[in-house]
Amino acid sequence: MVVCLDKQSKRDEDGEIESQAVYFQFYGRRVPESPLLKFEDADGKFARRLVRALSKGARKSIMDLRMARGDSGSWESKYEAAKDLKCARSNAYRHLDEMIAKEYMVPDGGRYHLHLTAELTIEITRAEGHNAAHDDATKWLRQYVTYPMKAENVIEVGDEEGHSREDLIEARLDAGLIEEPVTDASMGSILMWRPKKKRGAFKKGSDLAKQAAERRWTKPEEQAELPMATSDPGANESPAVEVDY
């Protein structure tokens, strides 16, 4: 079994230690891998206490379990609990192991019981509200920004529509918008938001791309025999007529 310890210290301007944290994890061939755990100073000497703050993925999994079976839900096994999680199965077991290690899921009587503290319930409620605001801001941005626009103007209008500045900035990537500086006539820089450009006719797998690839690997003397995609608009394509005088 391999045990990993990483001690990190935070120092002030004078170089004095303000706080210390120890990260702990173990793994091996005959034991299941442990989640990454963080311990902080408990008494200023040698005692350490487990930091029970959940990772983003584990917190989302807690919300899935709570939505599936309520605050006091229970499951016969981790396999059964993993079915209620909206993530990949490998990530599901990793999140469940973290919840068990931090005692938010407690094995008792042959079942795994959800155990939510008051602090975690408040955190989950806050996260649910944030997710709803993020989704609303993302939907609004996709409908409003359909061409390049000044970022500040978008944020001001979004704020008037009830979306906070922080939610709009955070939702920009999920809305498929690109942020780029543009130089105006006075040589000043303006921050613009615009939708991502759609791929053109030469995208991979298109007919034009296949024809270009075919001509690329054909010998010059053979290229004249390949059919062209388009014809010359000025060429006379009418059939030749033979006239007897």
Domain range annotation of the chain:
2-50, 56-116, 121-195
In the chain, the largest separation of any two C-alpha atoms, in whole Å, equals 116
CA dihedral 94, 97, 99, 105 (to 10 degrees): 130
- Whether residue 95 contacts residue 61, with contact meaning beta carbons closer than 8 Å, is answered with yes
For residue 65, give the H/E element and its range: helix 56-69
Q: How far apart are CA 103 and CA 124, in angstroms?
A: 16
Please state which of the four CATH numbers 3.10.620.30, 3.40.640.10, 1.10.10.10, 3.30.2290.10 is assigned to the domain occupying 56-116. Answer: 1.10.10.10
- Whether residue 103 contacts residue 115, with contact meaning beta carbons closer than 8 Å, is answered with yes
Is the pTM higher than 0.75? The answer reads: no
Per-residue pLDDT of the chain (245 residues; tens, 9 = 90+): 899 999 888 888 888 878 888 999 988 888 888 888 999 888 777 888 888 888 888 988 998 998 899 888 999 999 999 999 999 988 999 999 999 999 899 999 999 999 988 888 887 778 778 888 999 999 999 999 988 899 999 999 999 999 999 999 999 999 999 998 888 777 778 889 999 876 555 566 666 667 666 766 655 555 555 555 554 555 555 445 454 54
Q: How far apart are CA 165 and CA 185, in angstroms?
A: 28
Number of CB atoms found within 10 A of residue 11's CB: 11
- Whether residue 41 contacts residue 22, with contact meaning beta carbons closer than 8 Å, is answered with no
Where do runs of H (alpha helix) occur along 145-206? 151-160, 165-171
